[in-house]
Structure 1
Amino acid sequence: MSDERASVSEFTVGFAAGRRLDLLVADHASLSRTQAATLIANGHVLVNGGREKASYKGESGDVIRVTIPPPPGRDIIPEQIPLDVVYEDEHLLVVDKAAGMVVHPAPGNWTGTLVNALLGRGEPLAEGGGEDRAGLVHRLDKDTSGLLVVAKSDAAHRILSGALAARQVTRRYAAVCWGHLAEDRITVDKPIARDPRDRTRMAIVQTGKAARTDFMRLARFDAVDLLRAHLHTGRTHQIRVHLASTGHPVIGDDTYGGGGGRRLAALPPRRHFLHAAWLRFRHPMSGDVLDLRSPLPADLRTSLAALSDMPELATHQDPLDVFHFYHDD
C-alpha cells in the first residue's frame, strides 16, 4: 500500500515524559500496546526524526510521528447504504448517523460503515485522513446517534479540523444518566486515556489527554436525569467516561456501568441513551454560521417517555424542545 493511504499524525511529549514509547503511542493513536509496539518495530514511529525502541522513555519536547499503514490487501469498498444527510454543499456535508453504524472501517468492521456509505455516494471526499477515514472531521461511537461533519475537500477538512481543535465547533449531546447529579450544572475536567487494565476501554488517567465536559440537567425523573452535555474536547468515549466517573453512567452503557435496567429504560439491546443533537460552527469557506439539529430518534423517544412517565413524548416530533434543550444558556 502507498503512503498516500496511511494515517499520519504527530504529537509532542509534555507531562507524560518518562513513559515508555509504546504506551505513549498507544494512548495517542487509541491502539493496544501490542499494536503500538508493532508499529515501532516496523519503523512506523519516529522520535525527533529517528527510530527508538518500544522501551524508550519519552522526554519532554520529543516530537513523535506515527504512521499507521492501511491493512495490507484491504480496499475500502464503496457501498450503497442510505444516509440521512441534513446539510450538503460542494465543501462539506453533515450526516445524521443512526445508532449501530460504525463510523470507519477497522478489524471486525470492514463493511457497512459510514465511510463505506460515503464512498458509495460517488462524491468527492477529503483525503487528509486516509481512505479508511475519508472526509471524517470527527467521530461518533457506534451506538451513539446524531450529527457528524464530513469534509469534501482537503481545504475544508483542514479548516474544520482547526476549528474543532480551537473549540470553535459547538457540539451538544442529549444524555440520560442513572441517578441524579449533585447539582443542576457540573463540569467534569478529567484527563482520559486507554484503561491500563483493559485496553478496549477508556478511563480517567492522570497522564491522559485533557478532557472537559459541561453537563446541564434539563429534567429530573424518578430514577434518572436528562442532561445536555457540551463537549470542550473530543476524546474517545468522553461523555460516557466522564459521567461514569461521577457515579452516574449513561443508561444502557454496558461498557461503563450503565447497562442494567434496560427493561425499565425501554431501550433495545446494545443501545445507550446518547445523541449528538446540536451542532453549530462556521462554514469553512463562507464563514456563515451553520446551526444544525437532530430530533431525538424514535428509540430514545420511547425510552424517555418510559423513564419520565410522560407517554406523549414517544410521539412528539422532538421531546428535546419540551425540555428547552436548544436554549443557548
Structure 2
Amino acid sequence: MTTPYQVPQELGGKRADAVVAGLCDTSRTEAAAWIAEGRVAWAEDRSQSHAQQNRAAGALVKKSEKLPTGAAITVDIPEPVDPSEIKVEAVPEMRLLFEDEDLVAVDKPVGVAAHPSPGWQGPTVIGGLLAAGVEVSTSGAQERRGIVHRLDVGTSGVMVVAKTERAYSVLKNAFRDRTPTKTYHALVQGLPDPHEGTIDAPIGRHPGHDWRFAVLEGGREARTHYRLLEAYGRASLMDITLETGRTHQIRVHFSALGHPCAGDLTYGADPHLAAELGLTRQWLHAHQLGIAHPVSGEKMTFTSEYPNDLDQALEILR
C-alpha cells in the first residue's frame, strides 16, 4: 500500500532510513530494506515551504539522503506475510544446477517467484526447494529466508540461495557490493546503435504507475553494459552485464532506448511481434552468474540454457 507522508519537524534533517522508520513505526533495518527495494520515492511538493527542490516526483529516495522538514515522500509499505502460509510446493521444472552444504544454484523457470509475497498464490523458489528437501538459511525475513538476490516472476534463469547463516551473510554482502557477475541475454526489438555500449541512466518509480519504473531524473543510479550477439532485422539478441541491479533495470533501459524486450508489453513492446514469436512474457533470461564461494572463496560460474519458449522465438526469427 503506497502512503504519502510529509517529514515532520522532529525528523527533519535525518537520514531517509531513520525518517521512514519513524514515520512508519518500523525498525531502521526494515526501513533501509524498503528503500533498497525502491519502495520510497519523492512525491510532488504541494507545500509552500520550498523545503523540497529539484526533486522529480517518483524519483527514488536514497537511504543516506537527509530529508528536510516538510519534504513530501511516498512509502510503499509491503503487507506482512504470515510465515505459516509459505506454500511448500514442488516445482518440477526448476532444476538444481549446483548444491553443497552452503549454497544451492537453481535454474528458475518463468512463472515462479523468488519468495512468497502478498497477493502471489503461485509457486516460489523457496517453496520448491523446501518441497525437494533442500534446507535453506533462516536468516532474513522468514518469507525470504536464504534469498540473497531475486529474479522477476517473468524472468527465467540462474539464481543462488544460501543454505547456511554464514553463506547468507557473505552472499548478501557480495550482492550489495556488486561483486557477482550477472550476465543476461535479451531479445530486443530493432537494432540498437551503437551495437555495443553502456546505458547509464537513473531509474525511479514511474510517477503515473506504482508497478512500473522509468528513467527518471533524480532516480537511483543504474548502469547496463551490452553488446550485440545476433541481429535478425526485426529484433536483436543482446549480451548484457549489469553493474547495478535495479528493479526492471534491463527492461526499463532498453525501453528508454526505443528497443524494448520482445514480448514486454508493460514497457512498450509490439504485441503483434510478440504474438508472431509466441511470447507471453518478455524475452529476458539470466544466462550466467559468477560468484566467489561464500566459504572457500573459489570462483564459481553457473549457466542456464534458454527455456523452450525463448528458444522457439529465436528459431522463428532465424
The 5 A counterparts of 1:1-329 are 12-13=15-16, 28-31=36-39, 57=71, 70-71=80-81, 75-82=85-92, 83-262=94-273, 265-269=276-280, 271-307=281-317, 309=318
Aligned equivalents of 2:221, 2:95: Cα separation in 1: 32
Give structure 2 stretches of 5+ with no counterpart: 1-13, 25-30, 42-62
State the secondary structure of the residue aligned to 1:199: coil
> Compared with structure 1, are the counterparts of its residues 130 and 76 closer, same or farther at alpha carbon in structure 2 (3 Å cutoff)?
same
Alpha-carbon distance, 1:268 to partner: 3.4
State the secondary structure of the residue aligned to 1:261: helix
Scaled by the length of structure 2, the TM-score of the pair is 0.75
More moved, 203-212 vs 138-147: 203-212
* 1:166-196 deviations in Å (ceiling 9; x for gaps): 2210110110101111111121111112111
State the secondary structure of the residue aligned to 1:200: coil
Identity across matched positions, percent: 34
State the secondary structure of the residue aligned to 1:198: coil
> Compared with structure 1, are the counterparts of its residues 125 and 26 closer, same or farther at alpha carbon in structure 2 (3 Å cutoff)?
closer
Aligned-pair Cα RMSD in Å: 3.2
Task: Assess if the C-alpha contact under 8 Å between 2:222 and 2:246 holds in 1.
Answer: yes
Greater relative CO, 1 or 2 (CA 8 Å, sep 6+): 2
Aligned equivalents of 1:31, 1:228: Cα separation in 2: 29
Task: Assess if the C-alpha contact under 8 Å between 1:104 and 1:113 holds in 2.
Answer: yes
State the secondary structure of the residue aligned to 2:111: coil
Alpha-carbon distance, 1:78 to partner: 1.8
Across the two proteins, how many residue pairs are aligned to each other? 268
Alpha-carbon distance, 1:12 to partner: 4.9
Alpha-carbon distance, 1:28 to partner: 4.1
> Compared with structure 1, are the counterparts of its residues 73 and 283 closer, same or farther at alpha carbon in structure 2 (3 Å cutoff)?
closer
- For 1:303, give the aligned amino acid: A
State the secondary structure of the residue aligned to 1:149: strand
State the secondary structure of the residue aligned to 2:166: helix
Aligned equivalents of 2:83, 2:100: Cα separation in 1: 33
